[in-house]
Each structure stands twice: as C-alpha cells, then as structure tokens.
C-alpha cells in the first residue's frame, strides 16, 4: 500500500527565525500523530536561506525537510542556482521540481525538469515532479494531452529502478493560489490518468507504487475528501502549509 505524503511548500516565505518558529509549532502539533510510524510522511520545503535552520530544528523529529529547486549541474557559472551537493549540505533529502510557478515565471520546461530530476536522483534526493494544466487548456479539453506531454518529457530516459524514489504532484495551475479547487472527481480522474501513463511507461508495479500528490489549493476543509480518492496519495500544500494548525489538520486527514 502506498503511504500518504503531505508536503508543505513554503515558497518565498519565512526568514530563518520565522521558519524555526513554524517548525517548532509543527513539531508540537504533530507529536501525537505518529507520522513516522503508521501515519503519513510529512515534509516541509522552506526557502534555501531558511532550510538549514529548519533542518536543525527538526533533526530529531519525524518531519522531513526538502528544497524547492535544484540545478542539473554539479557546479559552474549558474548564478542564483544550487547544486545537489549544496542541497545535501543544508541538509535536505527531498526537492520539488518543475512547480508551475517555476514554469510560469522562470522558463522551466519539460526538458529542464527532466535534467533537474536526474540531478536529484544522482545526489540521492527524492524528487517531487510537478505537472498540471492551465485553465485555458482544461476548458479546451486538453488536460490529458498536456499531462501526457509533461509526464513523458519529465521522466524520459528513466529506468524502473530510478522511478522507485520519484513522486509526482498533479497541480492544476488554475487551482493554485486562486481559492479554486478541482472537485474530488476531477482530481481523481486526473490522477488515474497519470497512473495509467506510468503503467504504459514503466509497468504496473511502478505505477502502483508511485505516489501521486494533489497540489491545487488543498486545505484543512477539503483535504479529507481529496485524500479519500483511490489514486490521490497525499498533497503538495502551499498556503495552508504556513499555518501549523491547518497543516496538522491535513496531516490528520491523511491518516
């Protein structure tokens, strides 16, 4: 059975001191939920400048720490980027790749997502590969075509063995930060389609084991319904991840 993963993407929020305070509050809220035993895995992804302090605060807890991006090169003239070795040095064990905001504002493509994901695996990091359609694409009934293009592009050249640590996050772009949320049925339909693509690309075993998260404005109010869907294996949480009580409620729903 796939174990749920609740991942908090803090985006460009929280200084080191603020991040430590939130991490401490999360530890207190989640201490009785046994997230490292039979509950879901819990992950937070702070900004790079905050990650080291948060990782130190959460060192002896069951809450994992990740990053929000990775460069494909080990070093070089890539101003503003961080390599896999730098992320390991923070230290973090996970990394979000290809988030819709990276695609929209910073020119991320399926090709660069593929290269970044390969770099994450090279350095022993667990990648969360993000895909999702725009509102215009959904309204034009292009959702499945967009998802197939992104899945095939992001995971091109990967082996069955490499897929063992890859997590996919479906994030309908029209539902991120807008207050709109895909219905339970819409989300399940997209997740089931993604899983069918994984069957085609990597076989039934890989598809059955790969966790697919929902990443479109999941919150304390709608989490239970979304997480009850058979092909939704957790959430990539944005705004609600910045509120310890709301994030803890989502984690509880994932049990």
**Domains defined along the chain, listed by start:** 5-253 (3.20.20.70)
- Catalytic residue at 99? yes
Q: 99, 126, 133, 137: which one is catalytic?
A: 99
Q: List, for residues 87-108, the tens digit of each pLDDT value.
A: 999 999 999 999 999 999 999 9
Cα dihedral 254/58/11/143 (nearest 10): -30
* Distance from C-alpha of 251 to C-alpha of 248, rounded to nearest angstrom: 5
- Catalytic residue at 171? yes
Over residues 52-80, the mean pLDDT reads 97
| Predicted structure pTM score | 0.96
Q: Name the pLDDT band for 217 (thresholds 50, 70, 90).
A: confident
- Token readout for 155 is 């995971």
* Distance from C-alpha of 202 to C-alpha of 247, rounded to nearest angstrom: 33
178 pLDDT above the threshold of 80: no
Q: 101, 108, 137, 171: which one is catalytic?
A: 171
Over residues 112-123, the mean pLDDT reads 98
- Token readout for 108 is 């991320």
pLDDT at site 36:
52
Q: What is the mean pLDDT of the chain?
A: 95
Q: Name the pLDDT band for 33 (thresholds 50, 70, 90).
A: low
Q: Are 233 and 227 in contact (CB under 8 A)?
A: no
Over residues 30-51, the mean pLDDT reads 84
Residue 186 vs residues 99, 166, 231: alpha-carbon distances, Å = 20, 23, 12
């Amino acid at each position: 059975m796939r174990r749920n993963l609740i991942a908090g993407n803090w985006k460009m929020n929280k200084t080191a001191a603020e991040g430590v305070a939130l991490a401490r509050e999360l530890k207190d809220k989640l201490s009785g939920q046994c997230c490292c035993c039979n509950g879901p895995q819990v992950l937070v992804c702070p900004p790079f400048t905050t990650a080291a302090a948060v990782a130190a605060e959460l060192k002896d807890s069951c809450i994992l720490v990740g990053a929000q991006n990775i460069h494909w090169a080990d070093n070089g003239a890539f101003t503003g980027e961080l390599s896999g070795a730098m992320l390991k040095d923070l230290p973090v064990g996970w990394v979000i790749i290809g988030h819709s905001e990276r695609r929209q504002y910073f020119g991320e493509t399926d090709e660069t997502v593929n290269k970044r994901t390969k770099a994450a695996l090279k350095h022993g990091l667990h990648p969360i590969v993000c895909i999702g359609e725009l509102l215009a694409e959904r309204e034009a009934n292009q959702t499945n075509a967009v998802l197939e293009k992104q899945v095939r592009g992001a995971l091109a050249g990967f082996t069955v063995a490499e897929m063992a640590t890859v997590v996919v996050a479906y994030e309908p772009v029209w539902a991120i930060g807008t207050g709109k949320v895909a219905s339970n049925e819409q989300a399940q339909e997209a997740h089931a389609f993604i899983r069918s693509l994984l069957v085609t690309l990597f076989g039934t075993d890989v598809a059955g084991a790969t966790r697919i998260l929902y990443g479109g404005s999941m919150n304390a109010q709608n989490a239970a319904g979304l997480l009850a869907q058979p092909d939704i294996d957790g959430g990539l949480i944005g705004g609600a991840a910045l509120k310890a009580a709301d994030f803890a409620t989502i984690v509880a729903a994932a049990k």
